[in-house]
Amino acid sequence: MSQITSGTDGGVRFLDRAESDSDSSLCTNVIFRGEQAYVSKNHFLRQSEAGLKRKLFKNTVRRVAVEIFSYCNRRCYFCPNKAGSRLGDQKFLDKGIFFRILNDLASIDFDGRFGFTQFNEPLSDRIILERIAQARQRIPRATLFIPTNGDYLNRAFLRELYDAGLRWMSISVYGPNHGVFDDEYVRRRTQRISDELELETAVVVDRPGETYMVRGHYQEMKIDLLGRNFDIAGYDRGGLIKEYSVSNRTSPCFFPFLQMNVDWQGNVVPCCNVYADDPDHAKWVIGNLGDGRSIFDHYADSSLVDWRRNLFGFFHDKEPCSSCSRREFPELATDENVKKFEQFAQSIR
């Protein structure tokens, strides 16, 4: 395998790949600031052959996020839920859709990360235990993941989550006043949660005023406790949180390659920042799994193909991505790096 490195800090690399999802040699592995993505000509063309769709998904997608119900108990200032839109009656993802997702993933022996996440609080309803167990049974090689605000978590619930099959949890440690970061508050709350869960933790990141993170384990389950200052780490959620918008995004985005996102309504969205509850975002929904099509169809034979075309390469002027700062690294928009992406894009046309 040959390797081309561009950029003085090694932030961008293109790696040749010996195998592809078809007979085509027009594929590569792109490493962009530590995140690796498999990119093939077939990502940019709508596919009709079922086997190719499955293989393209299997070769590329490393994260699947499924929101199994709607409710969130918080109104964090940096989140589209800040108006309280998720505080109403609980609404559940159709059970048939959930099982179809699992069965599709089982058919390719999915071994990536399966997250119970989108804009809800996953631990606010105990149906999560049933859904974790069902996922563990059908996709045993996947890493089952939950992000949570920790409000519903205690030692007994942690044990139940582990017994159901959960193996990774990230607990967001929010500050007061709907999540405003406060160093001392975050440190105290982190310690209190650790004590309540009887966790031995080690500090992983300690950047005062910005990030505080510790890590522990419950048996084989990894548990991160993470406090972040969203005035620094926040992004604009597709233009819904205006104070975090950037004027001109420069960096490529590989989310439409690497992940599949499904909300509680069964909507497939191109990115975890698309909030289909909002009328302004509804037009960006890729499709709905209630149509009976597989996740492979929605990945490889849908408008997600156009999103990948638009987001591969530098500089973006189309909503909602043009104002997004997530994984935005302007320093990597060098002439050399831009040329590398353009050359590959030309080679697959």
Residue 115: pLDDT band by 50, 70, 90 thresholds? very high
Q: How far apart are CA 69 and CA 53, in angstroms?
A: 28
Amino acid at 270: P
Cβ neighbours of 334 (radius 10 Å):
15
Residue 260's DSSP bridge partners are 64
pLDDT tens across 313-332, in order? 999 888 999 999 998 999 99
- The share of the chain scoring above pLDDT 70, in percent, equals 94
The model's confidence at residue 248, banded by pLDDT at 50, 70 and 90, is confident
215, 223 Cβ separation under 8 angstroms: yes
Which residue has tokens 């309280």? 84
- What gap in Å lies between CA 188 and CA 13, rounded to an integer? 41
Chain centroid offset of residue 159 CA: 25
- Predicted local distance difference test score (pLDDT) of residue 22: 64
- Tell me the H-state helices in 234-274: 255-258
- Answer whether residue 4 shows pLDDT above 70: no
Residue 86's pLDDT band, with cuts at 50, 70 and 90, is very high
Amino acid (1-letter code) at residue 219:
Q
Average pLDDT of the segment spanning 98-107:
99
Instruction: Give the pLDDT of residue 10.
Output: 55
Considering only CA atoms, which of 205, 203, 244, 225 is closest in space to residue 76? Answer: 244
Which residues lie across from 145 on neighbouring strands?
115, 168
pLDDT tens-digit profile of 31-49? Answer: 998 899 999 999 999 999 9
**Which comes out higher in pLDDT, residue 110 or 5?**
110
Q: Can you give the pLDDT at residue 8? A: 39
- Answer whether residue 167 shows pLDDT above 50: yes
The structural domains of the chain, ordered by start, are: 61-347 (3.20.20.70)
Most confident of 80-89, 234-243, 254-263: 254-263
Distance of CA 45 to the CA centre of its chain: 23
Query: Smallest Cα–Cα separation from 210: which of 186, 246, 177, 237?
Result: 186
